[in-house]
Amino acid sequence: MPRSSGEREFHFTRGHFDQIAALLQQLTGITLASHKVEMVYSRLARRLRDLNLPDFDAYCAFLSSQQGENEIGLLVNALTTNLTRFYREPHHFEHLAKVVLPHVRECQAKVTTKPRLRIWSAGCSSGEEPYTIAMTVLSTLPEINRWDARILATDIDTHMVETARRGIYAADNATAIPAAIRDRHTSVQQQGSRTMLAMSDGLRRLITFKPLNLLEDWPMRGPFDAIFCRNVLIYFDRHGRSQVIGKFHQLLAAGGHLYLGHSESLYGVSDQFEQVGPTSYQAIS
């Protein structure tokens, strides 16, 4: 394991950090603040051990070489933070259930085609957010199986996308799921001594998981009734945030809603949304 900062296993300088930070910014738009030095070292030291490299000079050279092309994705996976849990910031799911979904149901009742619902979890991490969205949809719209309903879940970290797609979580990490919903939409599995919860087929059918870099081209066309992009924008610079928010606005249906993380705001970023609740925004047509 890495030693303390004064006794590091590998020599790591500010030059190494700057080179890696610049590469990550170029690839993903994520800006690494200077106080992330220890985080970068600890996460990438594991990569040096796995690759049997002697130091960060060798690692940086490897990243720039043809042989290191496959390492780029692993670098991005290692440095993107994936902190999430079921029903995190529950006021967003309450707003979805009490405001957004009833409004969509009312609007769809006026059309003659199959009712349609589209929600996007942009930055889905290991999947707890989109599964919580799916639980909220199934609890609010019990007739949803008769709808053309899809939840898109994307993340830049391919490992997280695979974890989300599997949909199996430690039971200890799912205590925030209300008991009635947990009983209806999950099943218990044993993995050795660990008790796990598997998401139901009903939840899985609603969700499509895909890897996506938010600063690259988006294949989806919308429109979305709601977009969750929580605790993602904090990693972008102002230009990156404005670019992503502008594209969200283009993809949202008229009056669609955008949910951000608890430390995020559209102040000074976009005037295309009206705040309707804590970190909850409605698109202005």
Burial class (CB in 10 A: 0-12, 13-18, 19+), 65: exposed
CB 283 within 8 A of CB 258: yes
Residue 222 DSSP SS3: coil
| CB atoms near residue 137 (< 10 Å) | 24
Q: Which residues are annotated as a binding site for S-adenosyl-L-methionine?
A: 82, 84, 88, 129, 155, 213-214, 230-231
**Residues noted as catalytic:** 43, 155
CB 37 within 8 A of CB 82: no
CB 29 within 8 A of CB 214: yes
The Cα 213–Cα 154 span in angstroms is 8
The tokens of 197 are what? 């919860």
